[in-house]
Amino acid sequence: MPAGAAIGADQVASAASESPFFEELPTVLSASRLPQVLHEAPGAVTILDRDFIRATGYRDVARLLRLVPGMQVGQERGHAQWVTYHGLSGDFPTEMQVLIDGRSVYAAGSFGEVDWPALPLTVDEIERIEVVRGTNSNTFGANAFLGVINIITRDARQDQGSRAQANLGNHGIADLQASWSHSDDGLGMRIAAARTRDNGFSGINDSRVSQTLSLRSDYRLDARNELTVRAGANTLERGQGYPDSIFGNNAERTLATEAYNLHLTWRHTTGDDGEWLASFYHTRESGIDHWLANGAFNGRLFINVPLSRDTTSSRTNAELQHRFALGPQARLVWGLEARRDEANSVGLFAGGQPPAYELYRAFSNLDWRPTPGWQLNLGALVEKNGTAALQFVPRAFVNWQASATDTFRAGYSRAWQQRNLFELYGDVRAYDPKGAPGAPPIARPYAPNPNLRPPHVDTVELGYLGRFPRLDATLDVRVFNERISDFVVRSLLPASPLRPLALPLPTSQYTNLASPIELRGVEYQLRTKPWRGGELLFSHTLIDRRTDSQEIRQRTSPYVASLTWLQAYPDGWTSTASGLRMGPLAGAAGYVPGCDTTSRAYTALDLRVARAFRLEGRRAEVAVNGINLGGRHQEIADRSEQCLPTHRGTPVNPVSSMVWTSLSIEL
């Protein structure tokens, strides 16, 4: 065959049947809602499977994402995760859609963020995590602005029996988790519970106590119908704030949150590659976060000024999806979705509670093979969310399977980003409790902007997925250009000379950046098994940041690299070592505008050594785990705190090395 010529589908199938290497290429669902082998997906997808997740020994889901190309993840404190793809985000990242079994876990309330330590599931329940690296709004809507993280839990019928694990280590680490699974006559059920406790980073108010309970039940009604029920609950208490924040605007306190969810799914198969899927879920969240601020200015004392971020919110979502074959070479999926979000917070919306947020969308994706070696993925979504105008989201990708081991792809996509309620309607005012009734506020940190335009991104990308059987290796490359218009930033408002505020804290509101942002770069991941029992995973990202705003440029690190080495030894011994190199990064925006600070480049090392054994006939494992080993470094700074004269030049919240021993046993 001439070099570079495309091969036929029968030759690909023949090659796959002769080599077990091809059998390992996984099928993904998150790129288009169609089950597609990895090289068929319209875009770059990284999969963290169950074995890899267990091998890391991580206690938190968000830490796993550090090892995905393009991801920029940091911690302001032990329980505060800043999870982004290509950076850019403010205090509460919202540029990636995050799902658990297809259910969006973005908070329905004020800030619209993902509360990573409060996710109502345990790490042990996860079957795999699919990360779509790149715009995917035509599949999952506005929050999939720069990508998708889909956490897929294990079918309840896959496991039998019970499992328990305990962690004990420094910084007060004391975790317990247990699960029970049973399956009989097509009905499976799993119940999992976990209690996570630690004191977080040294020197700051960073303790947490989290309690999680989750349930999943899968029931096959007959040969074509299946019902899945998922329910979860989490309560979490965690330390917040700093003792010397400006006027106590971020004073030390304890934040208490509760989250509950119920998710029902009905699946009906109609034949080869045909399926109806109906989904309904309801979530309810609440947070108690209030404190008293104190300060003085111009000889005037302000004592016990009440500040509050107390919130309650709820989300109700219904979805219908239909997948079917148009013929031997074409498949189509289409669907409808409706959502209603409600939020209540007197402290964050002093000008009146925001209106209920309603969203409606229709989506479709087509997978068509005009020839055996060429594949076309076309997608479109129409969405109406809140007060924004009707939005049309297109995507077009072409994949060329140049050989049995080489696939090239090229595509274009557009996406719109949903604005959260606080950006639109946030109105924070502080009043002197000793002031006269009707007196003006002494400070107004935030003012609303209901006319805020939703940002949109146009993405062009080229990709390559290569498989090298002789090296037992896979190489995934993505070259991208992401042009973002109307990006949302926090801007200062001019002070009113007629009604000056008693405290010199400026008022800000969220506005649209006048000029576009362009992120150009390349990211790749090499996964190989160069020797017996060993596996290496290397990821590298380089980004050229083009914007008129220096502050926005600093929110994206120009480079990130990670290397993970997994090794199996005789007699049940295993080890996992991960190194991360993160370039300079100014994550988030801080509570007080105008305080710019960038964390220096750093290197982090994680290590785990484990041994599996039999304990009275039961499978067990003992492990020693460590994260943030080596020198202390700062990852994400609270800008207003870091800008205080007493902290300049010295990181106020460096990470701490955390080491713990874990013991797990299957009962």
Residue 174 has pLDDT above 60, yes or no: yes
Q: Enumerate helices (H) and strands (E) in the chain, giving the number of each.
A: 8, 37
pLDDT category at 550 given cuts 50, 70, 90 is: confident
Residue 310 CA to residue 330 CA, distance in Å, equals 50
The residue among 556 and 500 whose pLDDT is bigger is 556
Structure confidence at residue 299 (pLDDT): 78
Tell me the β-bridge partners of 321.
277, 335
Choose among 447, 453, 319, 455: nearest CA to 387. 453
Residues with Cβ within 8 Å of residue 247, at least 6 apart in sequence: 293, 294, 295, 297, 302, 443, 503, 505
The dihedral built from the CA positions of residue 432, 436, 442 and 448, taken in this order, carries a sign that is positive
pLDDT at 639: 83
Three-state secondary structure along 226-269? Answer: EEEEEEEEEEEEEEECCCCCHHHCCCCEEEEEEEEEEEEEEEEE
- 256 forms bridges with which residues in the sheet? 237, 288
| 227-231, 461-465, 561-565, 614-618: least confidently modelled range | 614-618
Contacts of 532 (CB under 8 A, 6+ apart): none
Give the tens place of pLDDT for each residue, 486-495.
999 988 888 7
- The per-residue pLDDT for range 591-612, each reduced to its tens digit, is 555 577 889 999 999 999 999 9
Q: In the structure, what pLDDT confidence band is assigned to residue 409 with cuts at 50, 70 and 90?
A: very high
Q: ∠ CA(537), CA(567), CA(74), 5° rounding?
A: 45
**Rg of the chain (C-alpha set):** 25
pLDDT score, position 273: 79
Report if pTM > 0.85.
Answer: yes
Place of tokens 């288009």: 32
pLDDT at 25: 80
Does residue 440 contact residue 496 with C-beta atoms inside 8 Å? no
Question: For 102-116, 195-209, 393-407, which range has the lowest pLDDT when averaged over its residues?
Answer: 102-116
Q: Side-chain half-sphere of 376: how many Cα atoms within 13 Å?
A: 8
How confident is the model over 46-75, as a mean pLDDT? 95
> Given a cut of 90, is residue 145 above it in pLDDT?
yes
Q: Could you read off the pLDDT of 87-136 as tens digits, one per residue?
A: 998 888 889 999 999 999 988 777 888 999 999 999 999 999 999 999 99
Mean pLDDT of the 535-564 span: 95
pLDDT, position 500 = 61
CA dihedral 346, 349, 350, 353 (to 10 degrees): -80
pLDDT value for 351 = 74
Residue with the bigger pLDDT between 7 and 332: it is: 332
Compute the average pLDDT of residues 292-307.
87
Report residue 9's pLDDT band, with 50, 70 and 90 as the boundaries: very low
pLDDT band at residue 160 under the 50/70/90 scheme: confident
Instruction: Please tell me whether residue 124 adopts helix, strand or coil conformation.
Output: helix
Is 310's pLDDT higher than 70? yes
Q: Does pLDDT of 620 surpass 70?
A: yes
Tell me what pLDDT residue 7 has: 33
Between CA 446 and CA 427 the distance in angstroms is 5
Of 625, 524, 470, residue with least CA distance to 59 = 625
Arithmetic mean of pLDDT, 299-318: 92
Whole-number pLDDT of residue 497: 58
Block residue for tokens 């070592």: 577
* pLDDT tens digits, one per residue of 338-378: 999 999 999 999 877 888 989 999 999 999 999 999 999 99
Instruction: Quote the CA–CA distance of 306 and 551 in Å, as a whole number.
Output: 31
Beta bridge partners of 606: 578
Q: Which pLDDT belongs to residue 587?
A: 81
Rounded Cα gap, residues 103 and 263, in angstroms? 8
Closest CA to 477 of 545, 571, 544, 409: 409
pLDDT band at 14 (very low <50, low <70, confident <90, very high): very low
- Residue 442 has what DSSP assignment? S
- pLDDT (0 to 100) of residue 17: 38
3-class DSSP assignment, residue 424:
helix
Query: pLDDT-derived band of residue 39, with 50, 70 and 90 as boundaries?
Result: very high
Mean pLDDT of the chain: 91
Contact call for residues 608 and 623 (beta carbons, < 8 A) = yes
What does the alpha-carbon distance between residue 187 and residue 228 come to, in Å, rounded to a whole number? 10
pLDDT class for 583, splitting at 50, 70, 90?
A: very high
In this prediction, residues 293-309 reach a mean pLDDT of 88
Q: Name the phi and psi angles at 38, rounded to 5.
A: -50, -40
Q: Of the ranges 394-398, 427-431, 561-565, 635-639, which one carries the lowest mean pLDDT score?
A: 635-639
- Of residues 5 and 310, which shows the higher confidence score? 310
Residues 283 and 234: their CA atoms lie apart, in Å, by 12
Strands 488-492, 508-512: pairing is: antiparallel
Nearest to 22, CA basis, from 502, 461, 472, 453: 472
Taking residues 65-90, report their average pLDDT.
93
